[in-house]
Amino acid sequence: MKILFLDQSGKLGGAELCLADIAQPFQSTSLVGVFTEGTFPEYLRQVDIPVKVLADQPLQVQKDSGLLAGLNNLNRLIPLVTQVAKLSRHYDLIYANTQKALVVGALASILSRRPLVYHLHDIVSPDHFSPLNRRIITTLANRAALVIANSQASRDAFIQAGGQAERVHVVYNGFSLKTYSNCADAREQLRPGLLAEPTSSTFLVGQFSRLSPWKGQHVLIEALQYCPENVIAVLVGDALFGEQDYVQQLHQQIQTLNLEHRVKFLGFRSDIPQLMATCDLVAHTSIAPEPFGRVIVEAMLCGTPVVAAAAGGAMELIDHGQTGWLTPPGDAKKLAEIIKTCQGEASQSQRMVQKAQTLAQERFNLDATNLKIAQLLQGIANRSVTAKI
């Protein structure tokens, strides 16, 4: 099967990592088209997945943009659609992985008469999208032959926004288990470099995501003031989409609370499994519903306890008190209570970790995920061939 994958981002995020995993089995016959150069196409080249950069400038439309921003980008959109339509005639279907890719892919599919598949990685709700963008997503996705949602929460929000339920199949993100199987020794190797004065009593809490207001790093920082002095936080990730003001707010918050010695910014890192294994707890602190929660599953696979905000896809991943903890989004005091519980009840935490790791290995195996997606895509391709006969 020949697939033209499309992604708007040049930056390597969770949706892009997911796409790379899905594209890997099709690398000999398919192509990933991205709208701008950056760390994502660089990553694809490193893992030998064919990639083509389709534009020299990104489309300047955000999730909260209105009609005017869309009209201002027509001079970039039209040539991009034309290019993708011409390119897609060499492939069996178009696979749009992001919102802007959906717009381009949907229009190109009309011109090239190729079926469209849309992978939904977002909660289509007012928390994340403007009314216009919600309407665009559902209208175009309702033209797709298939919509793959990364969680039940993403599916439900899509349908509530006007998406057609019969087009949607839920397929959880998959993970290569071997990536997380060799990180047990990382604690002794990495921990001294993360802490200014490491001691046996230091309790390390990691937060792994881009630095963004809705990802809630400020909630973890606020929670630290209610925790013992030996609780230290490391923030792994950086601002990706013009959110430097938020980074400055975080630094100001740390200074105001006199927590400079208890918070460390690590920036973007490629050794995520090793860093997670080094932590005593991974905290997921999003203040708006998370579509899936890739970090949550990664922590489980690494054998590290995890606490997550109880909203969106996170609630499908964690059985509270059994495989991890759930806490109200934005509630720093409740988060602090969980941190102290995890710190003080090591034996309970270890039992939860073992159960969570086994569950994650069974539910989120990349081989099983890719098989399910391949079956869905083959069904679309077969129907397309039948329609042409």
- pLDDT at residue 282, rounded to an integer: 98
- The CATH number of domain 3-174+365-388, selected from 3.50.50.60, 3.40.50.2000, 3.60.20.10, 3.20.20.70: 3.40.50.2000
pLDDT tens string 224-238? 999 999 999 999 999
Residue 306: closest CA among 7, 317, 316: 317
pLDDT tens string 63-114? 554 444 544 566 778 899 999 999 999 999 999 999 999 999 999 999 999 9
CA dist., res. 173 & res. 15, Å (int): 9
Averaged pLDDT for residues 311-315: 96
**What is the side-by-side strand order in the sheet with 281-284?**
263-267, 231-236, 203-208, 281-284, 306-309, 325-327
Evaluate if residue 192 carries a pLDDT over 90. no
CA-to-CA dists, residue 24 to 32, 120, 248, 294, 359, angstroms: 10, 19, 38, 19, 24
Averaged pLDDT for residues 178-191: 81
pTM, to two decimals: 0.90
- pLDDT at residue 191, rounded to an integer: 81
**What is the side-by-side strand order in the sheet with 168-170?**
51-53, 31-34, 3-7, 93-96, 116-120, 146-149, 168-170
**Does 3-174+365-388 match 177-363 in CATH topology?**
yes
Block residue for tokens 């929460």: 153
Write down the domain spans for the chain: 3-174+365-388, 177-363
- The CATH number of domain 177-363, selected from 3.40.50.1010, 3.30.830.10, 2.140.10.10, 3.40.50.2000: 3.40.50.2000
pLDDT tens string 263-291? 999 999 989 999 999 999 999 999 999 99
